[in-house]
Copies of this chain bind each other. A is one copy, B any other.
Amino acid sequence: MSNIVNEFNEYRTKMNEVILSKENLVIKRLWNLDTNTYAAGALDVKTKELLGLVASMVLRCDDCIKYHLGKAHELAVSTDEMYELFAVANIVGGTIVIPHTRRAAEYWEALQEG
């Protein structure tokens, strides 16, 4: 697995542990709820992950994008599908989304090579 993927996952795991160790109940419950949000329901898991990803892109949250790219990769989203999602994000959010698309594209390549 590529370096930038490992680095992201390791930092994320380490800091999540620090945060959860403080036993703040609201944060703990929000994080549980976050997991439930993407469970299969009327919409399937893949559609929900794509929704989470495009929302993260237009809000320009690089780490959120990486997380959902990882999930989309596990769900076998194709590169053509991914770039159509990137297109929606760029059209809705404008050219300020382009730098985040560059980093998303880099991470997506790393996931393919992993």
> Which residues on A are within 8 Å of B, measured CB to CB?
11-12, 15-16, 18-19, 22, 24-27, 29-31, 33-34, 36-38, 41-43, 47-48, 50-52, 54-64, 78-81, 83-99, 101-103, 105-106, 109
- Provide the residues of chain B in CB contact with A42, threshold 8 Å: 78, 80-81, 83-84
Q: Tell me whether A22 and B83 are in contact in the complex, defined as CB-CB below 8 angstroms, given that A58-B58, A63-B99, A102-B15 are known contacts.
A: yes
Q: Is the interface of A mostly helix, strand, loop or mixed?
A: helix
Copies in the complex: 6
Q: Tell me whether A59 and B92 are in contact in the complex, defined as CB-CB below 8 angstroms, given that A50-B51, A84-B43, A87-B26 are known contacts.
A: yes
9 A-B contact pairs sorted by A residue (CB < 8 Å): A11-B102, A16-B102, A29-B36, A38-B88, A52-B88, A56-B92, A61-B96, A61-B99, A62-B99
- Provide the residues of chain B in CB contact with A92, threshold 8 Å: 52, 55-56, 59, 64, 94-96
